[in-house]
Structure 1
């Protein structure tokens, strides 16, 4: 209890709180990618802005690259039916399916909802909308056939209603059927009092709102889909559900209906034309429409057709449903310059002013999910490496039909642009085996290049030698495939599982689903040769193992032409061909570490041969037992033991604790946990219901130069963490550079650590004296080396705890218990450097994400929480599992299957939107910009328990001093006997393989070590002290024992490990 009071009572000083505010903050800044499930599109030709609405109620406005405004409806349950700009005003209307109409304004950097009007419940659902030319009245029709008017100044409904009964009364001699719902509304340009009302069943009426009378009537026996002006005020065109459109004259007398009907892809039955647009160009007429395909042959195609005069006709074919489209007029407004198509999964822009009508390179709204995203990494690269990547991407674009014209949507002003010191590159892995590189240095997500691994393998559907030409001049309709979204995958085994990217050299390792690892590097010369392949058998020492999964991918043996840019230098195929679970790369050493569910391998990519192949399968995995041992107890057994525990005396309980401690010493076999006593500061952790067959899965790998053999000379090492809480440490003997191609790399298993709580190890990091991650020399973004006397330390992050060990002794230094205190589990971690806005103060901290969507920042080395925020909804499992941290203090996660959300934790050097709209004075009253609000979802401050972090502060090296959750614990503290819990003693087994080859004297000493025990005694002040008897031996250079002595050490209840030599 005293420990609990001491931990919660400490408060930071006012100076420390000020430093925290300068170092840490959290806000959601940007969203990259394509909006999830778009439903509506709008275009402002005056301000040249585009708006997109999604099914979840999100509204986004885009202008020139870097101009983006976000808005969100208060309820995500409504669906937006229509978006309409008030031209030139920076205002937008959204009409929802709950009969609510919302007015949005762009004020400063924000898109704000300023007005809402909800119709009465007895009014039928809104089915069509239009704004008058002055932008003062919204006309909207309902499914009942009535048309209402909303005054946009007062945002109130006008009394005047155009009722269906009144319209039918005026034309009862011409039309006597029920025309159905209002399908289209169109204003007459020259007369604001007149509008065209189109009804679902083919009736068109020109209504005079001033006289309340019908002036013209047209009808056709086909369902109406769309209405547009051919010649404003003179000729009208209507599109129908049979794939035809009809021209109507507004002022001339009617001709026969048959002479006006046009079916572009007839005479066979066609699907409906959902939208049509006709404009007169400088020389030829433009006709643009969506749909209308022959129903039998091409009814499943998603198309937008463009007809320019009699000579040019192209049917743009997309792989997802067309939502809407609009055209952009040229500068002289006499012709069309661009066509913008919003599809369900991508945005496509066509350059109509260039020969051949090429597509634009989209500067935002990129289709990240062109093939489903399966993995992603963020890297900080130098300007030189970034320039090389861009050069490769530009050469890829030069071979495709990309327009050289500027992006046509260019409204708004970007303002001051945040520019980072180095470039941020996002690398995404995809289901089709490809990786794509994206520049995320600024507010706009820019595509750099793409590399596909499928040409390296054999298969009936795998592409070789680039993409086929989809254009066929003799085909009818004249299809042309556009867009990048591809919903199909050639083979599920191609899917990328893990990516590792060297931000110094650009080397990339791509791990796949079938155990393949493709290593690619940047090269300037073309290559036409076969790719080198090597096989690494992880289970070679397990004779009884049988693989029952999918087969491996067959690599091509014939030469493969690889152009300038990224080229595959080699392919490593693991056996068994299970999915890659983790990768680690060290380009200076020429080594790649690979992990699967069966074990780990280390590959020398210079000589292309295996260095390590360690199988981590248990005996149960090899036998194939279908009843793995479970840590969970039955309810009956737990209840029975609870009653037995109540009947035990205190002496019996202490004896039982002693026995359990004896069994746990130096043992690596699973120990059935004893139910812990109830304590005020920790909860009992339920047993994980994990399948024992996944215990050997490699969860993380790490390559670093550190001190593991001695404290004097650092050595290259490989670290591997498993799903069962085991950590394997290998020392590496790497030949010098002049002998690197002749001599082999030698790896030796040095030590093993078995965490007592056996939770999966999700990350391993070696930190230096400044508590920053030890990085490769010359690594971009790495901090300058610090000359400090404090040695390296190891940070082990499992799902339940964070532990710090000193190196090379592997003595426990401190730990942070998350699951025991809060019930959450850690999902992602990173060690980042935080710098104040003035650059005078900086600290290295550990950032971790939990399965509840919370992000915590912990100081190093004392592991005190500096900040805790809710960033992701706990229900968003996909978002939590996809989050990655960047070195500049930002994080990225998949907000949806097609969008990436960007979060900033630092107060300095992060990218944010600073765009604005410059509107003419007097156009509308612009309210004062509200105080800046945090965009982060549900940010909540928590009790802060920090202390100033100083790298030069000497760390406690005494075995009686430990840090748990940032609290220093001493065995001299008086702990009430009732608060003592055997469940708090975590003894991590550490095995040193380097001293395993001793003589017979060593064997006799080991037998004595097995009898080692914990003696728990009570002092006069009810103090609990544990004494450990340790035998210290001295050996000479030949391994003979010189002397030995018995040493008694005192340790507290949180003693974390025992060294077995």
Structure 2
């Protein structure tokens, strides 16, 4: 056997070096200018959120993240992302109220001023702190200076006009009491007085709080016992509320800060957690509303995150959260803090969620968000994206999903409704299906640049775990693959534990049972066929026909026992609930396929799935083989180990008969083309039910005899196929290792494709086929013979003997017709009664391929082909290290593209402006656009920030679709849509909504300035500084004794102009010589005009002077002659 194996391997290596090529010249209309990578919109909850900000006039909410991005959300369709140049986290964020500006402070001590009045927001100015680290920022209402607190405990002031530091600085040693011998720590919070902008509160990390007067530099200190964690002003500016370390709440009078005027313990005087955030608001009826986080008692251990709401007329309301609270903001109707703010909702930013609490409804319910913030409620494990979904399917999913809407939400509309929403740029009906770790599927409508939930499906509700595997981590309902037929609405779902379920859509609720198909243990067959080399020993498990021993009809009321499918010991982690169940409208399970595990520690995982509603067959590829299941009869058609897919076992385990021995064996003549016409693998029918244990062997000796009878000399290569091995090999070896080494490696099925195509060399007839790709680079074709009446007859599978060898794992099989149009397999249209009635007509009428590409946009031949080179189809095989376009039925290589330096991990055929292209994802995280069929590289751009592998989870979380659109999980909680089409990118840019909407600023509350002035005159209190005085104070115009002036601040911070300023400067400096000469002439003319005006003015002055001199002379003469005495 070793000798035979070596001869087989050497023969295969020799034939792989030979391949035929076909010279084809194609005129393609697509070029690199038509392709670009443009990210369209991002959905979901911002990952690693850190801070929160709200503009009460524009009604926009901003969320800063650890990844250096800012999400700004408003009404439906208003969801924009702001990206900094680096990945440094956004620690603090502030809106410039109703100004179209946003301020962000990042972890690299850079403060940026954003302008979101533009359709594409950009950074206007930036400032970098060189010697200080930013710990907090604060922007008072209508202030022209940003207050910046640092880790050293100092407070700086940044001008919003120039983004330069003010010479006015509050040093920490000037703020604390001289008796305090410890550093107060970083500045935790800064709060300006709502009525007197010259007074600010500064809270330090160690619990020290001071009140600083910017005009007089006077300091009022609050008591340190207990330490204060957060502060909030009363709207009249005379009282301050503090949240303390011991969970208490204190109220201080600003004129007497030495002791609190009132102190309370909302959750009792037991040991409580600190209160890190507190907010003090008042309603229109002057009813106070106090909101704070933390402060919960610690009697029972670590308390859950909670938000407490206090109202004067009611008891305290505690809202426990599932995730830690990052921050919260009280949404108010009045933007000014110097009057009752009229709060109406609370925006709470949690670690993994964003919720809006309704304060106007009793019970404080949650307001339902129009944005998909719960995308990651269960971790997303896989994605499927359809950019051309039928509209009737969207409508059907909406109807069945309406009843699933969660109850208990507030009836109020979404209050954060600022901006103008995006328009639908593509005009396509887009559907996104997300598979989750808990076994659930979610259907989302992604049209109109907005992600909206349509329908939820639980795929694990009909499974039960075995008791002995209840605690196993590998037994999970997590989704791994999703395959959907849009026309028939069939849905095929595969889990990571070897469970595969077929769902059928129903518009009404029905009662049904689930048919169960047990897949044989292919691992045993694969191992025995490779390891056992003794010619006299036959492994029964590898030689028996692997079919369903017990066919379960749909009308059965119980599922078979999970261990009843075979005699060997195997482990099936799930069993199907067999009792009839009344299921609601929507997707209902119809068929479940269970794949056994080889042991308790290893599983035979699903590696690929395929569904064809027209053929009525599903294919399940695993790490050790392939199984075909008939969905019309709910029975197993056949199951192969990967070695058996080649038509014969690599090492035959039984002796051939004398008749077969006389013929040239495949080991002696490996070059013979295998075309087994009679060696058919049939499903179990009534006539063959008794011979299930007798498996028809697929030895090549039969094929050799068949080839010999057709006229080919025994043991010689056919002259018309010098490039094909005994299995139809048409390409070079997949890897450099010896073939004998490959025979011992585990080989899995990585790609499965149903298609109506040519499967044998030089046979132009097309028929239903299934193309199988393996992890070792083999593309294998099997023929499917479909009967006319599927309920009576069964499907027949015939090996075609065709194998295409590639370098690396097979990723994709795609097909084009003779006119270079992409074709897709046939599908069955959706019917209400499709369960009971099947098409009994001729299968040829319903199994022909569908043309996806418009013939007017497809490539064309630049020169006519030779008549002998007849081409019916083109096969596109994509592997990790190469792509080949093969002409059928001659199986000649037409085009070739190598990717050995950076392998591919994913590929899908699509269209750019209607022209066929191939969209690929490389191991470096780049998107490559390759033309079809000539395989020219059109565009390459980075999509993922890191390198990936074929088995990387991100490959399952990335989906390509039609029209050059794609979607991927950019973080565990965010999904981003992109396009590779320049036309779509321009359309999305034109239809992009606007964040800033021109709004009139509400009228400011009237202040009794006259009474305050009178009190300051007749009293001892100094006059309050207004905004103009405060601007002069902070600019240093009134105080020349500040340290170093403006020049001294340059060593602390450096101002950096934004891209817009740099562009203006470039435009100002980038002028031509002609423009410079024209400007010089214009300046000369202006100078001449000014000189003429000066001459005229001088002449006028001269005349005026002469007139005045003459008048003065006359006046002098008059008074000289006049007598000064009058007597």
The equivalent residue for 1:84 is 94
| Match 1:697 to one of 738, 743, 748 | 748
Q: In structure 2, do the counterparts of structure 1 residues 846 and 366 end up closer, same or farther at CA, with 3 Å as the change threshold?
A: same
Q: Are residue 751 (structure 1) and residue 801 (structure 2) matched?
A: yes
Contact 1:45 1:87 in 2 (8 A): yes
The equivalent residue for 2:676 is none
The equivalent residue for 1:249 is 253
Contact 1:107 1:926 in 2 (8 A): no
Q: In structure 2, do the counterparts of structure 1 residues 119 and 601 end up closer, same or farther at CA, with 3 Å as the change threshold?
A: same
Q: Are residue 567 (structure 1) and residue 588 (structure 2) matched?
A: yes
Residue 615 of structure 1 deviates from its aligned partner by: 1.1
Q: Are residue 61 (structure 1) and residue 72 (structure 2) matched?
A: yes
Q: In structure 2, do the counterparts of structure 1 residues 491 and 132 end up closer, same or farther at CA, with 3 Å as the change threshold?
A: same
How many pairs does the alignment contain? 826
Question: More strand per residue: 1 or 2?
Answer: 1
| Match 1:518 to one of 501, 511, 518 | 501
The equivalent residue for 2:973 is 898
Contact 1:393 1:450 in 2 (8 A): yes
Q: Are residue 50 (structure 1) and residue 61 (structure 2) matched?
A: yes
Contact 1:59 1:71 in 2 (8 A): yes
- CA–CA separation in structure 2 for the residues paired with 1:807 and 1:760: 22
Residue 310 of structure 1 deviates from its aligned partner by: 5.2
Secondary structure, counterpart of 1:575 in structure 2: coil
The equivalent residue for 1:770 is 819
- Can you list the C-alpha shifts for 1:851-900, whole angstroms capped at 9, x where unaligned? 12333333322223333333334436665664321102112222222222
> Larger relative contact order (C-alpha < 8 A, sep ≥ 6)?
2
The equivalent residue for 2:464 is 458
Secondary structure, counterpart of 1:582 in structure 2: strand
- CA–CA separation in structure 2 for the residues paired with 1:882 and 1:921: 41
- CA–CA separation in structure 2 for the residues paired with 1:621 and 1:295: 70
Q: In structure 2, do the counterparts of structure 1 residues 689 and 188 end up closer, same or farther at CA, with 3 Å as the change threshold?
A: farther
Q: In structure 2, do the counterparts of structure 1 residues 814 and 270 end up closer, same or farther at CA, with 3 Å as the change threshold?
A: same
Secondary structure, counterpart of 1:888 in structure 2: helix
- CA–CA separation in structure 2 for the residues paired with 1:201 and 1:722: 63
1:358-757 equivalent positions in 2, closer than 5 A: 358-364=365-371, 366-379=373-386, 380-397=388-405, 399-414=406-421, 417-459=423-465, 492-539=475-522, 543=540, 551-576=572-597, 578-616=604-642, 666=725, 695-708=746-759, 713-736=765-788, 739-755=789-805, 757=806
The equivalent residue for 1:200 is 205
Contact 1:456 1:560 in 2 (8 A): no
- CA–CA separation in structure 2 for the residues paired with 1:742 and 1:831: 37
- CA–CA separation in structure 2 for the residues paired with 1:612 and 1:772: 33
Q: In structure 2, do the counterparts of structure 1 residues 68 and 493 end up closer, same or farther at CA, with 3 Å as the change threshold?
A: closer
The equivalent residue for 2:159 is 151
Q: In structure 2, do the counterparts of structure 1 residues 217 and 141 end up closer, same or farther at CA, with 3 Å as the change threshold?
A: same
- CA–CA separation in structure 1 for the residues paired with 2:803 and 2:466: 47
The equivalent residue for 2:302 is 299
- CA–CA separation in structure 2 for the residues paired with 1:58 and 1:686: 47
- CA–CA separation in structure 1 for the residues paired with 2:269 and 2:348: 27
Deviates more, 1:578-587 or 1:405-414: 405-414
Q: Are residue 321 (structure 1) and residue 380 (structure 2) matched?
A: no
Residue 383 of structure 1 deviates from its aligned partner by: 0.9
Residue 708 of structure 1 deviates from its aligned partner by: 3.2
- CA–CA separation in structure 2 for the residues paired with 1:876 and 1:802: 19
Contact 1:33 1:898 in 2 (8 A): yes
Q: In structure 2, do the counterparts of structure 1 residues 147 and 26 end up closer, same or farther at CA, with 3 Å as the change threshold?
A: closer
Q: In structure 2, do the counterparts of structure 1 residues 907 and 156 end up closer, same or farther at CA, with 3 Å as the change threshold?
A: closer
- Can you list the C-alpha shifts for 1:974-996, whole angstroms capped at 9, x where unaligned? xxxxxxxxxxxxxxxxxxxxxxx
The equivalent residue for 1:938 is none
- CA–CA separation in structure 2 for the residues paired with 1:343 and 1:621: 61
- CA–CA separation in structure 1 for the residues paired with 2:635 and 2:781: 20
- Can you list the C-alpha shifts for 1:256-313, whole angstroms capped at 9, x where unaligned? 75x8333333343222222122322346543322222333536252333334455465
Contact 2:61 2:74 in 1 (8 A): yes
Q: In structure 2, do the counterparts of structure 1 residues 296 and 572 end up closer, same or farther at CA, with 3 Å as the change threshold?
A: farther
Contact 2:822 2:852 in 1 (8 A): no
Residue 732 of structure 1 deviates from its aligned partner by: 1.8
Q: Are residue 182 (structure 1) and residue 181 (structure 2) matched?
A: no
Q: Are residue 237 (structure 1) and residue 241 (structure 2) matched?
A: yes
- Can you list the C-alpha shifts for 1:1006-1028, whole angstroms capped at 9, x where unaligned? xxxxxxxxxxxxxxxxxxxxxxx
Contact 2:919 2:928 in 1 (8 A): yes
Secondary structure, counterpart of 2:116 in structure 1: strand
Residue 701 of structure 1 deviates from its aligned partner by: 0.6
Q: Are residue 288 (structure 1) and residue 296 (structure 2) matched?
A: no
1:114-129 equivalent positions in 2, closer than 5 A: 114-121=124-131, 123=132, 125-129=133-137
The equivalent residue for 1:828 is 906
| Match 1:224 to one of 197, 222, 228 | 228
Contact 1:799 1:825 in 2 (8 A): yes
Contact 1:346 1:365 in 2 (8 A): no
- CA–CA separation in structure 2 for the residues paired with 1:300 and 1:573: 44
The equivalent residue for 2:1074 is none
- CA–CA separation in structure 2 for the residues paired with 1:528 and 1:665: 53
Contact 2:281 2:341 in 1 (8 A): no
Contact 1:772 1:833 in 2 (8 A): no
Contact 1:204 1:217 in 2 (8 A): yes
The equivalent residue for 1:141 is 149
- CA–CA separation in structure 1 for the residues paired with 2:943 and 2:139: 39
The equivalent residue for 2:48 is 37
Contact 2:879 2:904 in 1 (8 A): yes
- Coordinate RMSD, CA, aligned: 4.2
Deviates more, 1:824-833 or 1:744-753: 744-753
Residue 917 of structure 1 deviates from its aligned partner by: 4.1
- CA–CA separation in structure 2 for the residues paired with 1:62 and 1:143: 31
Q: In structure 2, do the counterparts of structure 1 residues 264 and 451 end up closer, same or farther at CA, with 3 Å as the change threshold?
A: farther
1:949-960 equivalent positions in 2, closer than 5 A: none
Contact 1:616 1:696 in 2 (8 A): yes
The equivalent residue for 2:356 is 349
- Can you list the C-alpha shifts for 1:230-271, whole angstroms capped at 9, x where unaligned? 4441332111233332222335x67975x8333333343222
- CA–CA separation in structure 1 for the residues paired with 2:204 and 2:489: 60
Contact 2:821 2:855 in 1 (8 A): no
- CA–CA separation in structure 2 for the residues paired with 1:689 and 1:339: 68
- Can you list the C-alpha shifts for 1:178-222, whole angstroms capped at 9, x where unaligned? 5443222111011111111223333332221101112x4322423
The unaligned stretches of length 5 or more in structure 1 are 1-9, 463-487, 624-657, 676-683, 836-841, 933-1061
Contact 2:808 2:880 in 1 (8 A): yes
- Can you list the C-alpha shifts for 1:130-168, whole angstroms capped at 9, x where unaligned? 112223111222333322222222212112222233233
- CA–CA separation in structure 1 for the residues paired with 2:740 and 2:403: 52
The equivalent residue for 1:793 is 874
| Match 1:815 to one of 873, 878, 896 | 896
Contact 1:183 1:224 in 2 (8 A): no
Residue 392 of structure 1 deviates from its aligned partner by: 2.2
The equivalent residue for 1:268 is 270
Residue 395 of structure 1 deviates from its aligned partner by: 1.4
Secondary structure, counterpart of 1:455 in structure 2: coil
The unaligned stretches of length 5 or more in structure 2 are 1-22, 529-539, 543-566, 598-602, 654-716, 830-849, 861-869, 1002-1056, 1065-1127
Secondary structure, counterpart of 1:393 in structure 2: helix
Question: More helix per residue: 1 or 2?
Answer: 2
Residue 64 of structure 1 deviates from its aligned partner by: 1.9
- CA–CA separation in structure 2 for the residues paired with 1:593 and 1:815: 29
